[in-house]
Chain A
Amino acid sequence: MIFPSAQNIRNIFRSLLANKVRSFLTMLGIIIGVAAVIVIMAVGAGAQSLILNQVKSLGANLIGIMPGATEKDGPPASVMGINITTLTYEDARALLDKKKNSHLLDLVAYTKSIGLVSWQSNQYSTNLSGCTAGYPAVEGGEVEAGRFFTSEEERNLSRVAVLGSTAKRELFGDNPALGEKIKIRRHVFEVIGVMAERGKVAMQDYDDQVFLPLKTMQKLIAGVDHLGLIRAKVDNAQNLNQAMADMTAILRERHGIIDQSGATDDFSVRSAAEAVDMITQVTDGLRFFLAAMAALSLVVGGIGIMNIMLINVAERTREIGLRQALGATRLDIFRQFIFEAVAITFAGGAIGAAIGILISFLAALAIGHFGYQWDFIVSGYSIVLALAVTSLTGLVFGFYPAAKASRLEPVAALRHE
């Protein structure tokens, strides 16, 4: 009798149903554990796809250049909040050299900050984006009224500003903004343009900002001389690698870096594809960590199973004696109880998986309701894993009670009251 007979299986489920409350409480730990694992995996996968979709929607032909060296696969140092001053406006100008950088369409260089903007008695704290005139070409976005600043203005300390739609609404309400004077840190700027609303993409709010010419931003507001970021648009995603190589070469030459291995680079060139890989790596790690935490509750559930199986063995001592009298060997008894433990955990796992899938689905519906592109992703892998782990839990925690049952002496078991 390697596998229990159909009759044994029937009996197990009958006895589970006969003690509904007890069975449910026994399985509860397992149910919660499995449901939690599946929800975390599914919600994690959904969040991951949301971020990735948004990053991809930025365009596959974008290249980011950040100051500071980085590990090949790690995040850029600037992401960690370290201020590195190795990238300058002149670098950005040099990259625009079409002879050396033939695949480049356009680029935009940034120096960003946060600051208070005021118009008449209204004040609003927003993102101040000092950038070059290439912004609309690279990042997209429509100018709704007026115009964006020119490359002349980006250099000659012009005091002009273009408002994101949120910044415009907060400062001006329904009043026209074009031609008005706004104040940032005691400096007066003329509003020359208002951007159309764009919404959030990849966690970045395109509307809640005020665009200033790069040099104006650096000298008057931020008081720095370096760039935070250059973003470049390439003519075709297939030329991405060539473009990255070209730009790396230009920057190495300008920075006097001879080492071609990249080990001494004081900048990093990244494509959106690499960013996607990095995000996937980070979110995967987070997801599996959370799932492992949730799986801990399976251990707690397993202890509950062991407890109830010990009670079960004690309550059914006479039955064990009877089965021995009818010819059951110690191994037969062991198999019966270990199978019961696995059956309980497996049933708990199946119920938990169903609940987990349902919750994940409802979560996807709810988040979708708020307008996010949220995918409902439950991998077969996570379900199989959950059921395998719960069955294993049954095996591990059912072992001791089953061994105890199998060691009973037939006569003593039969006499048990």
Chain B
Amino acid sequence: MLIEAIGLRKEYILEKVVTKVLNGLDFRIERGEFVAIMGPSGSGKSTLMHILGFLERPTSGLYNFNGRDTRSLSDNELALFRNEKVGFVFQSFNLLPRTTVMENVRLPRLYARAREDSDVRTEEAVRQVGLSHRRHYFSNQLSGGEKQRVAIARALVNRPEIIFADEPTGNLDSAAGAQIMELLQDLHQAGHTVVLVTHETFTSEHAQRIIKLKDGLIISDQPVAKRRFARDGSFIK
């Protein structure tokens, strides 16, 4: 068991107004799973991803990662977990401007504890997403789909235990989106644990299992009955 959440809650207090975002979630994610967290905007899915990805702490409840209670982690330990345990892929790519593919992919290596094999790992990650021929291109010279592939390579470069993809196809056209979904499915096939956050039922059906959120509660948690595969053209609407 990679992830175990028990009674996970998150509240924000802004000018004495308490906003409850997550109202007690219980679930587990096994190593090697491909899980979609789905829900409308405001359902708390992004906040859940941020907590699972160590970007913020839950207000209460228990979050065990790989059997370890994460409540006692300091800011620096959280940063180290983000660096070593997880890889993020964002909707808006978040590549650095005026920076090459290789340099973007290498970025997490700058903050890694051991950096000796950074060149090898960077090359490997770029090859995994099929961008070796573009490795010295600057980020502004790439198409949207290519940018997202760079982001995926960047998420892979530290060989994380889990990849979080937050609406990874949200800024892409169908063809580019299909390629990204295919890549995520390939990574899952190769043994990676992937958590996909999306508001589209259709996109979520590329995962093995869908956790549906509404108003900060899990309203269903079921395997996908009829799974879609991007390779078969399922992503082209």
- Count of A-B residue pairs with CB < 8 Å: 74
Contacts A327-B80, A327-B82, A327-B112: A14 and B55 contacting too (C-beta < 8 A)? no
A326 touches B107 (CB 8 A): yes
B56 touches A409 (CB 8 A): yes
Set of chain A residues within 8 Å of B79, measured between Cβ atoms: 324, 327-330, 332
Contacts A409-B56, A411-B56: A326 and B83 contacting too (C-beta < 8 A)? yes
A414 touches B103 (CB 8 A): no
Contacts A8-B110, A327-B111: A18 and B103 contacting too (C-beta < 8 A)? no
B107 touches A323 (CB 8 A): yes
How many Å lie between the Cα of A8 and that of B109 in the bound state?
12
Assess whether A273 is interfacial by the CB under 8 Å rule. no
Assess whether A180 is interfacial by the CB under 8 Å rule. no
Set of chain A residues within 8 Å of B103, measured between Cβ atoms: 7, 10-11
Assess whether B53 is interfacial by the CB under 8 Å rule. yes
How many Å lie between the Cα of A18 and that of B106 in the bound state?
22
Interface size counted on chain B using CB atoms at 8 A? 27
Q: What 1/0 flags go to A293-336 for Cβ under 8 Å of B?
A: 00000000000000000000000001100111111111110000
Minimum distance in angstroms from A301 CB to a CB of chain B: 25
Contact of B76 among A1, A10, A329 (CB under 8 A): A329
A15 touches B82 (CB 8 A): no
Assess whether B99 is interfacial by the CB under 8 Å rule. yes
How many Å lie between the Cα of A329 and that of B80 in the bound state?
8
Assess whether A204 is interfacial by the CB under 8 Å rule. no
B110 touches A1 (CB 8 A): yes
Set of chain A residues within 8 Å of B88, measured between Cβ atoms: 325-326
Assess whether A238 is interfacial by the CB under 8 Å rule. no
B110 touches A7 (CB 8 A): yes
Residue of A nearest to B80 (CB): A327
Assess whether A260 is interfacial by the CB under 8 Å rule. no
Can you offer 11 A-B residue contacts whose CB atoms are under 8 A?
A1-B110, A8-B110, A11-B96, A11-B99, A14-B99, A323-B111, A327-B80, A327-B82, A328-B79, A332-B111, A410-B55
B110 touches A5 (CB 8 A): yes
Contacts A7-B103, A324-B79: A414 and B111 contacting too (C-beta < 8 A)? no
A327 touches B108 (CB 8 A): yes
Q: What 1/0 flags go to B74-110 for Cβ under 8 Å of A?
A: 0110011011100010100010111100010011101
Residue of A nearest to B111 (CB): A327
Minimum distance in angstroms from A24 CB to a CB of chain B: 18
